[in-house]
Structure 1
Amino acid sequence: MPAIAAGLEGISPMPIAPAAPPDLILHHGRITTLNPGQPEAQAIAVRDGLVLATGSDAEVLPLAGPATRLVDLGGRRVIPGLADNHIHIIRGGLNYNLELRWDGVRSLADAMDMLRAQVARTPAPQWVRVVGGFTEHQFAEKRLPTLAEINAAAPETPVFILHLYDRALLNAAALRAAGYGRDTPNPPGGEIQRDAAGNPTGLLLARPNAMVLYA
């Protein structure tokens, strides 16, 4: 008996067929259902954008009506739609070769090796940008790189390291390229950290918002 439901998740068997024929049946495939009791099906029936039934071809194909569209998957996989409402397709496409990601890197030493390699292959006057969801807690050293370490890794190439939208680290080359100096005022909602002489250190703080990280 085919499983009948309004969606892939939580499908449960029903003893009767749907009252109206489906608009679409995908069959001869491998359907991922997300139902632990029936993790995979051979066919799926859909009406008005909702899943009516999943099961074997023998169970689902008889549900077809005269107007039902039948699609032979030829053994291909079908998965539920993956809806990501926060992606950066254009920025990612434009900057893919210029960005470095530390997501999942286990040690700061490895991260700095990656930074040095990225610096070596980045042509002037391009910047190296470290972006993504990394945190110092993922590193064995349990800390972020120091500005001195970043400057040593990239003495001439501008480097911008974004940390969770709360701060950014800029090396000396980046400060020069951005024109940040002693007389540069703090932008609204942000802070440029300075040394005892009033010169920017390279640390930008998002206080209280992240606009300084995009200035």
Structure 2
Amino acid sequence: MAEKSERPTINVAVVRGAAPSLYDWVLIGAEEEGVPTKLAEAASGDVVDAAYAAAISSRIDIGVAIGADAIVLHERHMPPEKPVLTIPYEGKSEAVCRRAGANAARMVARLPLLFEDAVEDVDEQVRPASERRAAARSAASAPAKTAAASWDGNGGGMPAQGQARAEGSAARTCTNQHAAETARPTAGEAASQLALSEAEIRKIVKIVVAIIKERGTQWR
């Protein structure tokens, strides 16, 4: 039996044939849940056996093995051939490894595991530092005309996406103005609505005269 590591960590083994960079994503998922990891030597070429060996060597009894096609999460009290989780990558190896790291940490904290039908795409903000630096260098070395490719056909002016938003805003403004003008009555319509008949005017005059007489003021 392998000796337990001195530091309480989730031990992670990378099986031969798997991409070593996937360990970074297991680390990210575990650290997001507040638990550290340690890269351990793969004790076997079989991903399930390697995960169980990693769990045995961990002081917190949790091990992960990264295979070429799937990642395995194991716990030392489980039967060696029955891991807690075996998750195939299905084209999303980075996101799957990140999720496996989070689940390994949640096992330590005794929290519910994260199960979703679709694994989310990798967030650029949590991409390993080495990949972020490589992307930044690539962007910095790109020709200036690449940045201008999204602008209008004359090589200047407003970016296509911004232009679309501006045109959409202008269209909405025109629509709102048209609606307001349609709802606003014309001067002639307003005058016709305010016009009173002769009978209505006489009735108003009689009411005013009656009010004045009641107040004791002589009507002249």
Identify which of structures 1 and 2 has the higher relative contact order when contacts are C-alpha pairs closer than 8 Å and 6+ apart. Answer: 2
Does the alignment reach a TM-score above 0.5?
no
Greater fraction of residues in helix? 2
Q: TM-score, normalised by structure 1?
A: 0.23
- Rg: which structure is higher? 2
